[in-house]
Structure 1
Amino acid sequence: MASVFRREGTKFFHADFRDAKGIRRHRSTKVTNRKEAEKIAAKYEEAAQKRRTFAQVKQVISDFHEELTGEKVKAVSLRDFINDWLKEKEAETKPSTMDFYRSAATRFADFIGTQDNGDIFHVGRASVVQYRGDLLKTMSSTSTNHHLKCIKMIFRAAKKNGIVAEDPAESVDTVRKSEEGTERLPFELDDIKKVLALADDEWKSMILVGLYIGQRLSDVAKLEWSAVDLDSEKITLVTTKTGRRMSLPIAAPLKNHLTKTPKEKRQGPLHPHAAAVFAKTGKVSTLSNQFAKLLAAAGLREKVSHTKTKSGRGAKRDLNALSFHSLRHTAVSLLKAAGVDQATVMEMIGHESEQMSAHYTHVGEESLKKAAAKLPDIVSE
């Protein structure tokens, strides 16, 4: 029979009861009145011995709360709470991140659907674990963990606001990152030339800019002519991912390419189509797919299937070793091969963390120019 006791140093009574296997359990009742605590302890034991599901146990506690206080536990749907959470986050979050939050939260709400009555109070750990497994079927471990992080944020907020007593996502671990097929490789120069030969004028320009300034596809896509100073041979930009302001030297081959654009046309974005795509979606997935098709046409990766098979859109995204990001790795490899020191290389491509940035702040503009001068000319060779 269930009983209660008070631990030294605590004001709440704890329940002492046995589960269906006869194992003794202790749980705080969160009340200071002995009679109320004894009733709660009895309910704990009843729920434990009847092998009830997580949702059923929660319902028992909800009903008992109403019995004790006369107040009914207000049902809050998962979707309603997510909508409120998104509205609250909007004021403190940049648009591109909000797009991800909306996508990730909506996907989770769709997955839960009518499970657990669609009530956030009834969503259990098993549902979150099941969702994590569902994500892994269609995306990489890194993306899965990114989505899971968003779900954890939602439930932390729900617990903080008193909507749920326990956070079902708190003890759900992230998945171990897969080692296979995730390494991004640099291009061979001959392979870049093959792609350039097949690319239209805009993609040719994006490839050259990506290679010679070593920046990500998003930053290349949104680059404006106002950021380009051909006289002082510098490109100034603020990176999308880290928000870091950078002033990068323009290598001679890139300058030769850029000067081919007449002065009267040097306004607005360098790459109008790519800039429009990125501005509309806030993502580079469409541009990444376009570049993947170029690589496939050059024989550098498999063609992307559009059928609903294991290699199609519904399957896990293929982490190909070659992508636009490989141009960034190529820039690093070329600079290192030319004998450029690590500090200058890191300053050229941008730092992934504030710690790394602080460590390399001593790199000067002249060192960057000398490093850029060592990059090979893949256009005129």
Structure 2
Amino acid sequence: MASVFRREGTKFFHADFRDAKGIRRHRSTKVTSRKEAEKIAAKYEEAAQKRRTFVQVKQVISDLHEEITGETVKAVSLRDFISEWLKEKEAETKPSTMDFYRSATTRFADFIGTQDNGDIFHVGRASVVQYRGNLLETMSSTSTNHHLKCIKMLFRAAKKNGIIAEDPAESVDTVRKSEEGTERLPFELDDIKKVLALADDEWKSIILVGLYIGQRLSDVAKLEWSAIDLDSEKITLVTTKTGRRMSLPIATPLKNHLTKTPKEKRQGPLHPHAAAVFAKTGKVSTLSNQFAKLLAAAGLREKVSHTKTKSGRGAKRDLNALSFHSLRHTAVSLLKAAGVDQATVMEMIGHESEQMSAHYTHVGEESLKKAAAKLPDIVSE
């Protein structure tokens, strides 16, 4: 027969009961009343000994909750809760991130379909694990983990709002990142020159800015002339990904490139076409594909022919080691090769980590200028 006890240092009663195999089990009842705890313990034992399904056990808990509190656990469909969650997130989330949340949650809802009765209350851990496996069949481990984290956020919110008592995604681990083809490599300088030779004027500028200030494609695409001070040789921007405000030195080769633009034309976006594309979609995928085509034309990566590891609509595409982000890695490699210390490199590129913050508090403007001066001139060579 089930009983209850209170562990030292805790306010809640714990249930002591046996399952169908006679194995003794202990579970917290999460209540401080002995009478209510005894009811919960009896229900735990009943559910355990009758070998009930996961859904049936959840129904027992739901009935018990209603009996003790007088509050009915409302049935909420997964899709309805997703809709409410997205509305709540909209006020605090960037549009591009919201696009991802919508895509990820829609994909999850489609996967669940009518299994688990379509009710968020009935979605179990096994379904989340199966979904994780489904993602791995069609995308990289990094993307799989990105999607999984979104679903974890969804269920945390459901638990916080009292929609579910247990979070089915809480104990589902992210997958270990694949070591095959995921490393982003820096460019060789001769390779950058090959790409520059094939690029139009705007893409030449995008590449040079990306290399010499070491920033992401989104930040280079939306860069305005108003952020560029050629007299003081500084570019000031707020990064799209982290929201960090940065003041970056302009290396001499980049300054020489920028001064080629007549003064009367130095207004608005530095790269009008790229800025328009980014402003329209809030994403850099179109620009990334354009750069990938340039790399393919230069013989530096496979053509963007959607090479896949298997056939089918959801097949996983092979990863390429070179991308626009490789310019960022190139800047890091060049600075380190020139003897620039790690702290200055991190500050100039905009990398942030708790580990590095323990080693330095601030890198001065003069140090950054000296670092920029050590970058090679790939334009006039």
- Same fold, TM-score > 0.5, yes or no: yes
SS at 2:320 equivalent: coil
Q: Which residue of 1 aligns with 2:148?
A: 148
Tell me the TM-score normalized by structure 2.
0.89
Q: Which residue of 1 aligns with 2:33?
A: 33
Partner deviation per Cα, 1:53-109 (whole Å, 9 max, x = no partner): 212221233345556666542101112222222222223333333333233222222
- 1:346, distance to aligned residue in structure 2 (A): 2.1
1:224, 1:267 within 8 Å by CA — same for their partners in 2? yes
- 1:40, distance to aligned residue in structure 2 (A): 4.3
The separation in 1 between residues aligned to 2:85 and 2:330, in whole angstroms, is 41
Structure 1 window deviating more from structure 2 (147-156 vs 293-302): it is: 147-156
What is the Cα-based RMSD across aligned positions, in Å?
Answer: 2.7
1:221, 1:271 within 8 Å by CA — same for their partners in 2? yes
Q: CA 1:119/1:380 → structure 2, altered by over 3 Å: closer, same or farther?
A: same
- 1:305, distance to aligned residue in structure 2 (A): 2.6
The separation in 1 between residues aligned to 2:264 and 2:186, in whole angstroms, is 36
- 1:45, distance to aligned residue in structure 2 (A): 3.2
- 1:354, distance to aligned residue in structure 2 (A): 6.6
Mapping for residues 79-98 of structure 1, pairs under 5 Å: 79-98=79-98
The separation in 1 between residues aligned to 2:34 and 2:279, in whole angstroms, is 62
Q: Does 1:43 align with 2:43?
A: yes
SS at 2:312 equivalent: coil
The separation in 2 between residues aligned to 1:131 and 1:326, in whole angstroms, is 32
Q: CA 1:13/1:189 → structure 2, altered by over 3 Å: closer, same or farther?
A: closer
1:305, 1:312 within 8 Å by CA — same for their partners in 2? no
2:308, 2:318 within 8 Å by CA — same for their partners in 1? no
2:235, 2:250 within 8 Å by CA — same for their partners in 1? yes
1:13, 1:31 within 8 Å by CA — same for their partners in 2? yes
Q: CA 1:30/1:362 → structure 2, altered by over 3 Å: closer, same or farther?
A: closer
Structure 1 window deviating more from structure 2 (255-264 vs 60-69): it is: 60-69
Partner deviation per Cα, 1:265-289 (whole Å, 9 max, x = no partner): 2221111221122222222222212
Q: CA 1:52/1:356 → structure 2, altered by over 3 Å: closer, same or farther?
A: same
**Gap regions ≥5 residues in structure 2:** none
The separation in 1 between residues aligned to 2:256 and 2:262, in whole angstroms, is 12
The separation in 2 between residues aligned to 1:65 and 1:341, in whole angstroms, is 60
- 1:35, distance to aligned residue in structure 2 (A): 6.7
The separation in 2 between residues aligned to 1:270 and 1:354, in whole angstroms, is 34
Partner deviation per Cα, 1:158-208 (whole Å, 9 max, x = no partner): 112211111111111122222332221110111111111221222111111
- 1:34, distance to aligned residue in structure 2 (A): 6.5
Partner deviation per Cα, 1:259-312 (whole Å, 9 max, x = no partner): 222222222111122112222222222221221121112111112334776278
Q: CA 1:297/1:312 → structure 2, altered by over 3 Å: closer, same or farther?
A: farther
Q: CA 1:351/1:39 → structure 2, altered by over 3 Å: closer, same or farther?
A: closer
Tell me the TM-score normalized by structure 1.
0.89
The separation in 1 between residues aligned to 2:358 and 2:69, in whole angstroms, is 57
The separation in 2 between residues aligned to 1:380 and 1:49, in whole angstroms, is 80
Q: Which residue of 2 aligns with 1:302?
A: 302
Q: Does 1:114 align with 2:114?
A: yes
Count of matched residue pairs: 381
Q: Which residue of 1 aligns with 2:168?
A: 168
Q: CA 1:210/1:313 → structure 2, altered by over 3 Å: closer, same or farther?
A: farther
The separation in 1 between residues aligned to 2:11 and 2:219, in whole angstroms, is 57
The separation in 2 between residues aligned to 1:13 and 1:341, in whole angstroms, is 57
The separation in 2 between residues aligned to 1:231 and 1:189, in whole angstroms, is 28
2:307, 2:318 within 8 Å by CA — same for their partners in 1? no
The separation in 1 between residues aligned to 2:363 and 2:14, in whole angstroms, is 61
Q: CA 1:17/1:252 → structure 2, altered by over 3 Å: closer, same or farther?
A: same
Q: CA 1:126/1:364 → structure 2, altered by over 3 Å: closer, same or farther?
A: same
Q: CA 1:312/1:283 → structure 2, altered by over 3 Å: closer, same or farther?
A: farther
The separation in 2 between residues aligned to 1:2 and 1:361, in whole angstroms, is 59
Q: Identity percentage over the alignment?
A: 96
- 1:220, distance to aligned residue in structure 2 (A): 0.6
The separation in 2 between residues aligned to 1:374 and 1:8, in whole angstroms, is 64
1:308, 1:314 within 8 Å by CA — same for their partners in 2? no
The separation in 1 between residues aligned to 2:9 and 2:231, in whole angstroms, is 73
1:78, 1:119 within 8 Å by CA — same for their partners in 2? yes
Q: CA 1:357/1:214 → structure 2, altered by over 3 Å: closer, same or farther?
A: farther
Structure 1 window deviating more from structure 2 (32-41 vs 331-340): it is: 32-41
